[in-house]
Structure 1
Amino acid sequence: MTKPAVAALAGLALLTAACGGTTGAAEQQGGPVTAGTFTYAIPADPGVLDPAQGVLSVTNNVLSVAYDTLVAVGADGKIVPALAEKWDVKPDSVTFTLRKGVTCSDDSPVTPTNVADNVNHIADPASKSPIYGVMVPAGMKAEADDAAGTVTLSMPGPFSFILESARSIFIVCGKGAKDRASIARATSGSGPYQLTEAVPGDHYTFKARRDYAWGPAGATAKELPETLVMKVVPNEQTAANMLIAGTINGANFIGADRSRIESAPGVNKQLVSAGNGQFFYHQGDDRPTKDPEVRKALTQALNVKELAGIASGGTGQPATGLVMDPRPCQGDTVSGHVPAFDAAAAAAALDAAGWKPGADGVRTKDGKRLSLRYMYATTRGPGYQAAAEYMADAWKKLGVEVKLNGVIDTKLSESLNSTQDWDVVWLPIGVTLPSQLVGFLSGPAAPEGANFAHLANKRYEQLVAEASKLPSAEGCPKWLESESALFETADLVPVVDTTVLVAGKGATFRVSAGSLVPTSIRLTQGG
């Protein structure tokens, strides 16, 4: 896995939005409004719009309205046709038969070669794509047969989620496929909308493609609003004001303003999962947390239930795993597998590990103080700051020196990639397949690889190796067990499944895996 993939994990995590669900259905009077404008708030500028470089969740949210994927995920979490009308899955490959009559936004046909070129471009080291090894599995290759109308994605060996991986690969077609620089602030896809205006930091305007008739499960653009505006609104309070006033039609809320939206009249609301919150221990050779007994003791010193409430502002749910909904493997990998809260046992464990309290109360061993540098992103709201302070206080009572280090997104990515200047990091994860985590949780350590925490859990690695050779459904028990293996040795500690309030006014829509589902948008009032 490439080094940029570490930044990809941080990016996918830091701006993860809603993950599934539909805004509460509003009564439609006379059917949907197709001549109006649907305005949707996004929390930050998406940056470069080339899908091969799309790291942040907000970027993929914007891309999702202009680009198609081979397959998609239905409202029930099952894989449904999109660009591909059918597929044939083998242990190490999947062959897709493309729909006929699909066109790009410049009216050129979408061919199997277009699809194959996208996958191979991302896999090409020269492209330096940060999504290689995450959205496109490491080792994947694509081969087209234009005469047969098929494209085959293959892996060097059996791979559980070879079909499911295709739902995350946006297909660039037409002129943009030949000139990637041309789509830095433009789109060239077969999706239901085409970008017509980009004003970085303010808004992105799209127009509906009325000839679009090849959406997921046969969705069309016939009932879509003529215009879609992605409005950059970094402040949730501002977004709440705009939604209540009716100047925007949709937004997601994770902070204090969600309570105001919940009681606002005329607003459709849906509470959905928004990824997870957990922290990692650095296991480099020079770190005290390389010792599993130290990691377990530190975990035992925390009341994770209280910590979850603090981190989420009381709006989260008990953590159940590492993969976002709709997850392919259903099950709770957390309960009974995280060291239980027991402050006395934590202190005894550190004593037994040779860490004795010093004159100032800080534990030492072989002349070295038990000191931890705790890093977290300041962009995730006040809950994470409060969670960091709560953890620091609990560990100080245990005799640990804690240095809090709140940083901006880019600094967090830099520390994960190269400087490695941390001992504990709070890092939400926003992936939809367990296979997307393997390179981050095993293999070469940073900075040579993507294993930023220097994890070396042999049981996890063995279970993943076994699961990877099985079809997704058959391999799920081992995939789930592999996550539990990480928690049992406190390699990382799952704390909370966060939630987000998806709200709409004058419109209904659906979100899936952090992105707006464009074919689900319906204006119920003139926009």
Structure 2
Amino acid sequence: MTKPAVAALAGLALLTAACGGTTSGPEQQGKPATGGTFTFAIPADPGVLDPAMGVLTVTNNVLALAYDTLVSADDSGKIVPELAEKWDVKPESVTFTLRKGVTCSDGSPVTPSNVADNVNHIADPAAKSPIYGVFVPAGMKAKADDAAGTVTLSMPEPFSFILESTRTMFIVCGKGVKDRASIARATSGSGPYQLTEAVPSDHYTFKVRRDYAWGPAGATAKELPETVVMKVVPNEQTAANLLIAGSLNGAVFNGADRTRVEASPGVTKQSVSAGNGQFFYHQGEDRPTRDPQVRKALTQALNLQELGGIASGGTGKPVTGLVLEPRPCQGDSVAGHVPGHDAAAAAAALDAAGWKLGADGFRAKDGKRLSLRYMYGTTRGPGYQAAAEYMAQAWKKLGVEVKLNGVIDTKLSESLNATQDWDVVWLPIRLPLPSQLVGFLSGPSAPKGANFAHLANKRYEELVAEASKLPAAEACPKWLESESVLFEAADLVPVVDTTALQAGKGATFRTMAGSLVPTSIRLTQGD
């Protein structure tokens, strides 16, 4: 895990891998329309468009239009072909045979060397890629055989998800392979669209490639809109107004405006997973939450079901694991493993740990008050503010002083990585593979590594080491158990699977892992 990944984690308080599969979307209204323009709202500027630097949801949402991956996933999570037509998996490597006839947006063929150059560039320390160790496993190397049409990705030792990890790797082709600076505000990929205009903080315009015929599940560009505009709309209320008025064809809503959009006539809508609502305890040497008794007591003081309802505005679902759907390992790693709500037991545990209740109503130990600085991002809607206030009230009843610290994204990143100025942080992390979480949940702590909460769960590390060496299917029980032991130790506390409203007007589309699936976009004619 590289340092840049730590900063990127907090950039929007989440990570999301864009995948080329599909999820069930809103029912189609009217007949498909040919040509035309599809306009989709994104909440922030995507920044640099080089896929080697793309770790945030908003960036991958834009990149997915122009870039393909080697493989995709279907609704059930099964791996299906995309750029690669077949593959041979071994414990330490996977060899892909590429489809013939695939071309880059500049007309050049997509070759195995293109794929190898992408992987090796990201793995090069000089690239300082934030996706190395996340979307591209640490230690991965690539070797191409252009004559045979194959590329082999290898690891220094067996790795569970060596095949599955490639569904998150966007492949740059053409001139962008050798000149990465050329794709900072442009695209050079084999995807169904090519960027034609970039106006930072306003909009990004893409034109369709009608020759595109190698999408997942045989998808082509035949019925796609001629133009896609990714419009930067930071305010959800504004996005709702534009969608209802018909100036937008698609948007995803997390906040209160989803109710108004749902009630609007002519809008197709679907509730989709928006990732985990969860919080972490700082376990640095000088923190009271380094003590597992304190972490368990603080967790027991909370009614997590009520907290989840508050954080999600009543639209959430019970959380069953740390990774996004469709999960490679099906099962519930949460139920029965999180300390249950018991305020009396929480108070007794703090007493036993030496934190005694004083006349002022607060607990102290060795003359030091039990005080927590609770940090959360302010861009995720009013639910997070309300959840923070609920937690502060519950902990105050327990005799804990809580200082709420709502901060903008850049300040959140700084506090997580540099100043370490927090004790509890609400921080969703959205990734499709459990192996991609390891650097955040173990290993070197911030600022030297991505382990921002200074976690040191030996059992988790042992299970990860065992799981990593097994084929994916065999490894799943251990991956699930590795999550459970984190919850049992209250290293992090899963609260709710939040949802968002995916809404369209005059168009239908699908999303996967929070990103738009470009081959699913259809403009519609009437009702």
TM-score, normalised to structure 1, is 0.97
Q: Check whether the contact 2:17–2:135 (CA below 8 A) recurs between aligned residues.
A: no
CA distance in 1, matches of 2:491, 2:202: 41
Of residues 22, 25, 44, the one that matches 1:23 is 25
Amino acid at match of 2:390: Y
Distance change >3 Å, CA 119–CA 12, structure 1 → 2: farther
- Which position in structure 2 is the counterpart of 1:221? 221
Structure 1 counterpart SS, 2:2: coil
| Aligned amino acid, residue 73 of structure 1 | A
Instruction: Please tell me the residue identity of whatever aligns with 1:499.
Output: T
Q: Which residue is equivalent to 2:159?
A: 159
**Structure 1 residues 47-105: Cα deviation after superposition (integer angstroms, max 9, x where no partner):** 11111111210000000000010011123322110100000011111100001111111
- Contact 1:12/1:431 (<8 A) preserved: no
Letter in 1 for 2:23: G
Which residue identity lines up with residue 276 of structure 1 in the other structure? N
Q: Aligned in 2, Cα 1:169/1:216: closer, same or farther, shift over 3 Å?
A: same
Write the deviation string for residues 236-295 of structure 1: whole angstroms up to 9, x where unpaired.
111112112211111111111111121221111111111101000011111111110000
* Contact 1:11–1:55 under 8 Å retained in 2: no
Q: How many residues align?
A: 524
Is 1:451 aligned with 2:485? no
CA contact (8 A) 1:91 1:471 kept: yes
State how 1:104-253 maps to structure 2 within 5 Å. Answer: 104-253=104-253
Separation (CA, whole Å) in 2 of partners of 1:88 and 1:95: 5
CA deviations over 1:207-250 (Å, ceiling 9, x no partner) = 00011111112211111111111111111111112112211111
C-alpha separation between the residues in 1 aligned to 2:118 and 2:390? 46
> SS in structure 1 opposite 2:33?
coil
Matches within 5 A, 1:472-511: 472-511=472-511
Q: Does the CA contact (< 8 Å) of 1:22 and 1:509 recur in 2?
A: no
Counterpart code for 1:471:
P
Q: For the aligned residues, what is the CA RMSD?
A: 1.5
Equivalent residue, structure 2, for 1:375: 375
CA distance in 1, matches of 2:474, 2:9: 27
Aligned pairs for 1:246-261 (under 5 A) are: 246-261=246-261
Q: Give yes or no for contact 2:15–2:55 (8 Å, CA) kept in 1.
A: no
Aligned to 1:299: 299
Note if contact 1:79-1:164 (Cα within 8 Å) is conserved in structure 2. Answer: yes
2:36 corresponds in structure 1 to 36
Secondary structure at the counterpart of residue 189 of structure 2: coil
Deviations 1:347-367 (A, max 9, x none): 000000111112322211112
Aligned pairs for 1:330-345 (under 5 A) are: 330-345=330-345
**Is 1:400–2:416 an aligned residue pair?**
no
Alpha-carbon distance between aligned partners in 2 of 1:423 and 1:363, rounded to the nearest angstrom: 16
- In the alignment, the residues of structure 1 paired with residue 418 and residue 13 of structure 2 have an alpha-carbon distance, to the nearest angstrom, of 18
After alignment, is 490-499 or 209-218 more displaced?
A: 209-218
The 8 Å contact of residues 23 and 503 in structure 1, kept in 2 or not, is answered as: no
Residue 16 of structure 1: how far off its partner (Å): 5.7
**Corresponding residue for residue 92 of structure 1:** 92
2:414 corresponds to: 414
Q: Which amino acid aligns with 2:27?
A: A
For 1:515 and 1:141, locate their aligned partners in 2 and report how far apart those are by CA, in whole Å.
27
Tell me what 2:431 maps to: 431
Shift of 1:17: 10
Note the residue ranges of structure 2 that are not aligned, 5 or more in a row.
none
Alignment of 1:287-326 (within 5 A): 287-326=287-326
Displacement, 1:15?
A: 7.2
Residue by residue, what CA displacement relative to the aligned partner does 1:101-126 show, whole Å, maximum 9, x if unpaired?
Answer: 11111111111010011011111100
Are 1:73 and 2:81 counterparts?
A: no
Counterparts of 2:298 and 2:201, CA distance in 1: 42
- What percentage of residue pairs aligned between the two structures are identical? 84
Cα distance in 2 for residues equivalent to 1:98 and 1:344: 61
